[in-house]
Structure 1
Amino acid sequence: MAADNISGRAAIVGLGATEFSKNSGRTELRLALEATLAALADAGIAPEEVDGFSSYSVDKVPEYEIARLLGAKDVKFFSQVPHGGGAACAPVLHAAMAVATGVARTVVVYRAMNERSWYRFGSGSYGFASTPIFENVNYGWYMPHGFHTPAAWVGMFAQRYMHRYGATSEDFGRISVAVRDFAATNPAAFFHGKPITLADHQASRWICEPLRLLDCCQESDGAVAMVITSAERARDMKQRPVIVKAAAQGISDGQQIMTSLYRDDITGLPEMGLVARQLWQQSGLAPADIQTAVIYDHFTPFVLQQLEEFGFCPRGQAKDFVRAGHHARGGKLPINTHGGQLGEAYIHGMNGIAEGVRQVRGSAVNQVADVRNVLVTAGTGVPTSGLILGAA
């Protein structure tokens, strides 16, 4: 194994989560502790053994406070990755690098949110004018023209993609229908027992054309945590180890925060393409080696573009991929078998990583047969990240 490649050197050995709701009734710190303690119990590791933490921005739960409440003794590693949901897979990368290099032995990655009951990302009111740092000034070029929310920002990319490749609102709806079908059979999902039809999608109200209500992810309360250690140590752990076969981050030319509208072409996601190339190179795998994928579905149009960036279909042909049902239950690449952020919960992508872990363990509610490798992606339209998880 090459010394400069982390593939196969770290493993996820513990997984924990709270319930997902619209009003948790607890602080985000308490949610984080509940998920972390559950993950440690799942791994069979004592809280005081934790010596590393990693999370990502828009987080209200500092690692030092979790460490104090857990009773962690000597924390040697901690990181927080920027850019919100685009960072979702990056804490696993950071944790894997820490344990592979011996910087830390037991790293917890976590995400806790009251993103429905406490604050809402889609509100369109962010107080940018009172905090004129660069990032906020950048939004000043867009918000006067009506680009106030993530749905509006993504809608511009989606409109151009439809114009270029002939995708339709119904194609976006096929993503919603498939993930809600999985959510309907997942007791942990907010929309458990509530499938939708394509007609339901088409009848849902406009949010920002071409995005309808059922093209947009939920706003959720909840927490997810997992424990990462070396692959060697993982062999003796309580649970079947889930190996980090590849992990990567990516920023591409002309990148901005969900507003990379000055690029020559806005019909693709080049930063996700960069992540894809790294994942395939690190792991030695190819699209045909992936049995199921967790594709970040904050908004349905970007699911199509991610399928193309990873080579599951040629550029512009993701619409044909979903029209054939390849992404749905029984398809050749079932995606978001937990229900995704559209159907299970929006825990900023961390619940998607959890589903990847369950699929490799063989314990998913909607288990895909003979899973050896799972692709997991993070938020799109921003600097992003991704993972390939697999069996030892």
Structure 2
Amino acid sequence: MSTNRTLRGKAAVVGIGSTPYRKRGDSDKSALTLILEAILAACSDAGVDPRQIDGFVSYANDRSEGPVVGTTLGVNEIRWSTMVWGGGGGGVAAAVNAAATAVAAGQADCVVVYRGITEADDGRGSYGKGHFPPLLSAHGIVAPAQVCAMRTQRLLEIDGVPPSAMKALVMASYQHAQNNPAAVAYGKPLDSETYESSRWVAEPLHLFDCSRENDAASALLIVSAERARDFASVPAYVLAGVQGAGRGWGESIENEDNYTSAGFHPAMVSRLWNSAEVKAGDVDVVQVYENFSGPAVASLIDFGLCPAGSAAGEFMTLPNLLADGGKLPINTAGGNIAEGFVHGIGMAVEAVRQVRGSSPNQVKGAEVSLLLGGPVAPFVSATMFGSAATL
């Protein structure tokens, strides 16, 4: 009996597709239509007949269920359909992991991971629906920004992380967006003064520390590693994936054991590094989910990619975070904040582009690409992608 129970090198992304990001409420298409367009784009990218898709995975309470998507596409057979439960973008990497697991275990041959939203179908603030129990709402806390602001304030005051770390992350996202014509912030550069003088959303989060929903969809096509070279695109192999929540972490209970963590507990982090057979210093590029900048910094700290406390400010500088020679390039298409926000699915696409060498801000020689999903959510996840050279 095989004792190799990891995902390392057993599945690969062979197709990616996205629709244009539109301002929230501006799309004249349904979320399902956008999802179908993204899936067809991913199939075209891979050179796959859409009817060959036999598995469907989404997350964050996507209203377009797998059987509906499959039937509308006219697929030959639906062998796998699942939804990752958990708040907001915490499931983005877990959805990729679920698809990789399905093909590695022979439950499906060609699985699509997708996410799409429109204001017309999902309403405003779809990322926060159902996640504000009376403990929070009775005290006037009814928006994700407020929850993340409290934790970020603790990160700054008690842990000693300087606000400059958050600012550098935001500035890097905006600078990268200037080279990405698909980004909502393309042609809208952000300078230091504008960032500093922008209004508070929930102190200590400024306007530019916060992502804003868009109408759009993206999709990733995943097959077994054995088949990966049979497709038209350069494959990005899944090296490892983790997801879940540790003891003392839950659904907005506000008394977590480690209140300023992003939710990536030490055992989870160790599993990712060990399964991927890489170390933090081997990571070439990171897409870190920034619904808000503070929790994104906490994610990097959880994984040991950024030092804790005051040293975070010394590491988190704009030059260090840029694709052009930075020590840890992050959010190289603009991230949720500056490229577009559809619960982080676009960041999964960008993680794959970096392995392919097709990013709008390509990190030279990138072989190992890390996706971190949904900090501070009750359920978080991460996926490590690698090139063929990493296998």
TM range (shorter): over 0.9
> Is residue 380 of structure 2 the alignment partner of residue 384 of structure 1?
yes
> Is residue 145 of structure 2 the alignment partner of residue 145 of structure 1?
no
Q: Corresponding residue for 2:346?
A: 351
d(CA) in 2 for partners of 1:171 and 1:241? 33
SS in 1 for 2:158: helix
Give the aligned length: 381
Structure 1: segments with no counterpart, 5+ residues: 129-134
Give the 4+ runs in structure 1 shifted more than 6 A.
none
User: What is the one-letter code of the residue matched to 2:381?
Assistant: S
Residue pair 1:272, 1:385 contacting (<8 A) in 2 also: no
Task: Tell which deviates more after alignment, 146-155 or 321-330.
Answer: 321-330
Residue pair 1:21, 1:221 contacting (<8 A) in 2 also: yes
TM-score using structure 2 length: 0.93
SS in 2 for 1:88: helix
> For residues 273 and 347 of structure 1, do their structure 2 counterparts lie closer, same or farther at Cα, with a shift above 3 Å needed?
farther
User: What is the one-letter code of the residue matched to 2:83?
Assistant: Q
Q: Corresponding residue for 1:91?
A: 95
Residue pair 1:117, 1:221 contacting (<8 A) in 2 also: no
> For residues 218 and 283 of structure 1, do their structure 2 counterparts lie closer, same or farther at Cα, with a shift above 3 Å needed?
same
d(CA) in 2 for partners of 1:82 and 1:165? 30
d(CA) in 2 for partners of 1:376 and 1:353? 6
d(CA) in 2 for partners of 1:304 and 1:116? 32
d(CA) in 2 for partners of 1:247 and 1:108? 17
> Is residue 210 of structure 2 the alignment partner of residue 216 of structure 1?
yes
d(CA) in 2 for partners of 1:37 and 1:323? 39
Q: Corresponding residue for 2:314?
A: 320
Q: Corresponding residue for 1:342?
A: 337
Q: Corresponding residue for 1:302?
A: 295
Q: Deviations over 1:275-304 (max 9, x none)?
A: 322210111100111111001111001121
TM-score using structure 1 length: 0.93
d(CA) in 2 for partners of 1:123 and 1:10? 29
SS in 1 for 2:336: helix
Residue pair 1:293, 1:335 contacting (<8 A) in 2 also: yes
> For residues 271 and 101 of structure 1, do their structure 2 counterparts lie closer, same or farther at Cα, with a shift above 3 Å needed?
same
Q: Corresponding residue for 1:195?
A: 189
Q: Corresponding residue for 1:363?
A: 358
Q: Percent sequence identity over matched residues?
A: 36
Residue pair 2:289, 2:336 contacting (<8 A) in 1 also: yes
CA shift for structure 1 position 180: 0.3
Q: Alpha carbon RMSD of aligned pairs, Å? A: 1.8
Residue pair 1:328, 1:334 contacting (<8 A) in 2 also: yes
d(CA) in 1 for partners of 2:331 and 2:295? 14
Task: Tell which deviates more after alignment, 81-90 or 158-167.
Answer: 158-167
Q: Corresponding residue for 1:119?
A: 123
Residue pair 2:17, 2:38 contacting (<8 A) in 1 also: yes
Q: Corresponding residue for 2:327?
A: 332
CA shift for structure 1 position 185: 1.3
Residue pair 2:85, 2:91 contacting (<8 A) in 1 also: yes
Q: Corresponding residue for 1:108?
A: 112
SS in 2 for 1:235: helix
In the alignment, which of 223, 232, 235 is matched to residue 229 of structure 2?
Answer: 235
User: What is the one-letter code of the residue matched to 1:356?
Assistant: A
Structure 2: segments with no counterpart, 5+ residues: none
User: What is the one-letter code of the residue matched to 1:340?
Assistant: G
Residue pair 1:291, 1:333 contacting (<8 A) in 2 also: yes
d(CA) in 1 for partners of 2:114 and 2:126? 22
d(CA) in 2 for partners of 1:210 and 1:34? 38
> Is residue 165 of structure 2 the alignment partner of residue 164 of structure 1?
no
User: What is the one-letter code of the residue matched to 2:91?
Assistant: A
User: What is the one-letter code of the residue matched to 1:289?
Assistant: D
Residue pair 2:264, 2:303 contacting (<8 A) in 1 also: no
Q: Corresponding residue for 2:4?
A: 3
Q: Corresponding residue for 1:248?
A: 242
Q: Corresponding residue for 1:70?
A: 73
> Is residue 16 of structure 2 the alignment partner of residue 25 of structure 1?
no
d(CA) in 2 for partners of 1:21 and 1:265? 37
